[in-house]
Amino acid sequence: MTFTVRAITLDLDDTVWPIAPAIDRAEAALDAWLQRHVPGAAARWPLEARQRLRSQVDLDRPHLAHDMTTQRRWMLERMLEEAGEDPALAEDAYEAYFAARCEVEHYGDSVPALDRLAARVPLAALSNGNACLRRIGLIHLFRFQLGAGEHGAPKPDPGIFHAACEQLGCPPAQVLHVGDDLETDIAGAHRAGLRTCWINRNGDGPHGRHPAGLPGPDLEFPTLAALADWLDAAHPQESPRP
């Protein structure tokens, strides 16, 4: 299948890098910070208790469930206060967590593929997470990064896709959204009028992973490198953008 692609929006977590190792690293960094600076809070809030509290925070403040940064900071303030510590320390605790959360390990194909894609069309990051591409060192490959917290609503809400298209200066039908999640990325972008590409790194077939009634992707590849190959083949006469 070929169609016009004037810009690409990309999901980040589990598309450019696996999220689980980054979260494990972040929780370990937070544990170390708590044990060093507020050992009473560390004893009161081991990992399992923090995970339960994190889920409860979204239930208590559903209007902010899309904003992971705000919810995490408020959670840390609550942890410290309930442990009898100064809640003002939450900012330092968050920095320890977030710095490690941004120490991602890219999939082997990701960075070379992003280099190739960015040489052809503008890229924009479109994520429900809160990773910082500037800290990670990839912001130079992207026109901008738009997160659910910044926008005010997460994927699959069509508004976040439309906001990205407007900022890119392209109609939705000429923007390809790339991601790993069939509901938030593929169905959400499809409903917003974008073309879609499912990065299916696990080789999962449509049965069992594709929820009934959701639209399928326009493209499906196991890696971002394969997507870059497709873009080169689908638009062979186009010169790389300056």
Same domain, 67 and 177: no
Q: Catalogue the long-range contacts made by 33-37 (C-beta closer than 8 Å, 24 or more residues apart).
A: 33/92, 33/93, 33/96, 33/97, 34/93, 37/89, 37/92, 37/93
And the tokens for 211?
């929820």
Same domain, 117 and 132: yes
Same domain, 84 and 112: no
Calpha distance 97→143 (Å, rounded) = 27
Q: What is the pTM of this model?
A: 0.90
Judge whether 184 lies within some domain: yes
Q: Give the range with max mean pLDDT: 71-80, 209-218, 228-237.
A: 71-80
* For residue 80, pLDDT beyond 80: yes
Q: Tell which residue, 218, 15, 239, has the closest CA to residue 127.
A: 15
At residue 236, the pLDDT reads 72
Half-sphere exposure (Cβ direction) of 233: Cα atoms closer than 13 Å: 8
The residues annotated with a catalytic role in the active site are: 11
> Which positions ≥6 away from 125 have C-beta within 8 Å?
9, 10, 11, 12, 133, 142, 144, 145, 146
At residue 46, the pLDDT reads 96
CATH label of the domain that carries residue 120? 3.40.50.1000
Calpha distance 103→105 (Å, rounded) = 7
Same domain, 116 and 159: yes
At residue 240, the pLDDT reads 47
CATH label of the domain that carries residue 80? 1.20.120.1600
Give the end of a domain, one of 40, 68, 101: 101
Confidence label for 202 from pLDDT (cuts 50, 70 and 90)? confident
At residue 174, the pLDDT reads 97
Question: Residue 80's domain spans which residues?
Answer: 20-101
Give the total number of structural domains in the chain.
2
Confidence label for 212 from pLDDT (cuts 50, 70 and 90)? low
pLDDT digits (tens, 9 = 90+) for 90-141: 999 999 999 999 999 999 999 999 999 999 999 999 999 999 999 999 999 9
* For residue 29, pLDDT beyond 70: yes
Confidence label for 234 from pLDDT (cuts 50, 70 and 90)? confident
Return the higher-pLDDT residue of 212 and 90.
90
Judge whether 240 lies within some domain: no
* For residue 238, pLDDT beyond 70: no
pLDDT digits (tens, 9 = 90+) for 136-182: 999 999 999 999 999 999 999 999 999 999 999 999 999 999 999 99
The SS3 call for residue 221 is strand
Q: Tell which residue, 230, 144, 132, 128, has the closest CA to residue 181.
A: 128
**Sign of torsion over alpha carbons 50, 55, 56, 60:** positive
* For residue 242, pLDDT beyond 50: no
Return the higher-pLDDT residue of 26 and 2.
26
Same domain, 81 and 116: no
Range with lowest mean pLDDT among 60-74, 90-104, 107-121, 225-239 = 225-239
Contact (Cβ atoms closer than 8 angstroms) between residue 170 and residue 198: no
And the tokens for 227?
């997507």
Q: How confident is the model over 213-225, as a mean pLDDT?
A: 91
Calpha distance 78→100 (Å, rounded) = 21
Same domain, 123 and 186: yes
